[in-house]
């Protein structure tokens, strides 16, 4: 089968298509013929060697984390799926495995039936950012119309799910996006939007119960200036050192710094599937053909798009 791999850390130049044997499955696994995989910032952070503490430095490495496709083979202990089912899913070890190939073997606990009313690209876009958005929601605790939330970097995949989940809970949300993101953020439920290319969010002087930074550019030190006395900063892009440091500092401050490290979970996916049934939209900005996998990553890494980018494997 064809598979995208890399043999050293670097730019998209290190990515190449190679021939590999089709994976064999264990008793608890299914073999999925991948139709689409989604592109996530984590893919290029790992590829550039920015996450070696978790990803390790062993090569070759595969890329891509979440996917949608068709069940081709079923392990002997698997129930609930049959050959031909349309499914979406995620690899077990996001740091060390990849789905950028014609076939992927995954535990049946990490695939779900694709809702009939969404496309393969939309389904492939659910697990990483959708799960992270539910995880963020859980960390926010109880939310109501009085809860003021700032979502910094709201127009990518994570923001798309988070804004809509928050809307379903009536939160009072301010989104920060570039000019292109203003209308989508409003459509997804933001009560107000700040265009970061024109205004500094700090100049607004407003304070929030929750600040979440999806841009990876704000950081706790800056966020503190716009946090209410008892509030939380959610950080899905922590530097490794911030994980223990935030834990200890939180014992002594009412402005908490909470790190998000989401992992694939049936509980979170069920919440998402329910939210999708209740109207969450999954906006796919662009689907690239397999042969243009490098362009797909270059495009996503440049930013400036709304929603998700995906790669289709024929
Ligand atoms: N910890 C976890 O479990 C977990 C899970 C999923 C994702 N993540 C991380 O969460 C982050 C968001 O994920 P994503 O998939 O939504 O990424 P994304 O699609 O790249 O979205 C990032 C957003 O930040 C915006 N942005 C860039 N510069 C900004 C600035 N200076 N001020 C405000 N906004 C700015 C971008 O807008 P423009 O492109 O218009 O500039 C874009 O909308 C990524 O870093 C990802 O790695 C973490």
Residues 76 and 189 in one domain: no
- Asked if residue 220 lies in contact with residue 92, where contact means CB atoms within 8 angstroms, the answer is no
> What was the pLDDT predicted at 262?
85
268 within domain boundaries: no
277 within domain boundaries: no
The count of C-alpha atoms lying within 13 angstroms of the C-alpha of 242, restricted to the half-sphere facing its C-beta, is: 16
265 within domain boundaries: no
> What was the pLDDT predicted at 310?
98
* pLDDT tens figures, 16-26: 999 999 999 99
> What was the pLDDT predicted at 150?
98
pLDDT band at 125 (very low <50, low <70, confident <90, very high): very high
Residues 9 and 93 in one domain: yes
274 within domain boundaries: no
Spatial distance between the Cα atoms of 132 and 123, rounded to a whole number of angstroms: 15
Residues 136 and 253 in one domain: yes
The DSSP output letter for 251 is: T
Q: What is the CATH number of the domain that holds 20?
A: 3.90.180.10
Ligand 1 atom, smallest distance to 154 CA: 43
Average pLDDT of 1-9? Answer: 97
Average pLDDT of 223-239? Answer: 97
Q: Give helix 127-140 / helix 266-277 axis angle, nearest 10°.
A: 90
Smallest CA separation from ligand 1 atom 23, residue: 153
Residues 121 and 157 in one domain: no
264 within domain boundaries: no
Strand 29-38 versus strand 308-312 pairing type: antiparallel
269 within domain boundaries: no
Ligand 1 mean position to 15 CA, how many Å? 22
Residues 134 and 176 in one domain: yes
Average pLDDT of 116-126? Answer: 97
Number of domains in the chain: 2
212 within domain boundaries: yes
Q: Is the model's pTM score more than 0.85? A: yes
Smallest CA separation from ligand 1 atom 40, residue: 304
Ligand 1 mean position to 215 CA, how many Å? 4
pLDDT of 314 > 90? The answer is no
Residue 211 pairs with which residues in a beta bridge? Answer: 150, 233
What is the share, in percent, of the chain residues with pLDDT greater than 90?
96
Residues 11 and 116 in one domain: yes
Ligand 1 mean position to 77 CA, how many Å? 39
Residues 114 and 220 in one domain: no
> What was the pLDDT predicted at 205?
84
Ligand 1 pocket, Cβ-based, cut-off 6 angstroms: 40-42, 128-129, 132, 152-153, 155-159, 176-178, 180-181, 196, 214-217, 236-237, 260-262, 303-304
Best substitution site from 194, 215, 239, 243 to test ligand 1's pocket, by max atoms within 8 Å of Cβ? Answer: 215
* pLDDT tens figures, 250-291: 999 999 999 999 887 889 999 999 999 999 999 999 999 999
Residue 187 belongs to what domain range? 129-259
Ligand 1 mean position to 158 CA, how many Å? 7
Residue 198 burial class via C-beta count within 10 angstroms: exposed 0-12, middle 13-18, buried 19 and up:
exposed
- Other beta carbons within 10 Å of 50: 13
């Amino acid at each position: 089968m064809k598979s995208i791999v890399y043999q050293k850390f670097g730019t998209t130049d290190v990515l190449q298509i190679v021939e590999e044997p089709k994976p064999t499955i264990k008793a608890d696994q299914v073999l999925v013929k991948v139709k689409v995989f989604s592109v996530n910032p984590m893919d290029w952070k790992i590829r550039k060697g920015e996450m070696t503490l978790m990803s390790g430095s062993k090569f070759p490495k595969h890329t891509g984390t979440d996917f949608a496709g068709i069940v081709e083979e079923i392990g002997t202990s698997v129930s609930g799926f049959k050959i031909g089912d349309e499914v979406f899913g995620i690899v077990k070890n996001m740091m060390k495995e990849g789905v950028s190939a014609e076939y992927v073997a995954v535990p049946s606990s990490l695939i779900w039936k694709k809702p009939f009313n969404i496309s393969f690209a939309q389904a492939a876009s659910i697990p990483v950012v959708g799960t992270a958005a539910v995880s963020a929601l859980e960390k926010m605790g109880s939310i109501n119309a009085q809860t003021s939330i700032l979502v910094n970097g709201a127009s990518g995949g994570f923001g798309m799910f988070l804004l809509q989940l928050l809307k379903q809970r009536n939160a009072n949300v301010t989104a920060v996006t570039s000019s292109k993101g203003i209308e989508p953020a409003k459509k997804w439920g933001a009560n107000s939007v700040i265009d970061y290319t024109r205004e500094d969010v700090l100049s607004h002087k407003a304070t929030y119960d929750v600040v979440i930074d999806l841009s990876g550019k704000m950081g706790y030190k800056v966020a503190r200036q716009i946090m209410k006395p008892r509030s939380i900063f959610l950080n899905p892009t922590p530097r490794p050192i911030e994980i223990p440091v935030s834990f200890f500092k939180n014992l002594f401050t009412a402005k908490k710094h909470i790190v998000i490290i989401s992992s694939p979970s049936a509980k979170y996916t069920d919440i998402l599937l329910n939210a999708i049934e209740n109207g969450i939209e999954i906006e796919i900005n662009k689907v690239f053909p397999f042969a243009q996998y490098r362009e797909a990553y270059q495009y996503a890494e440049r930013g400036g798009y709304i929603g998700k980018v995906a790669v289709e494997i024929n």
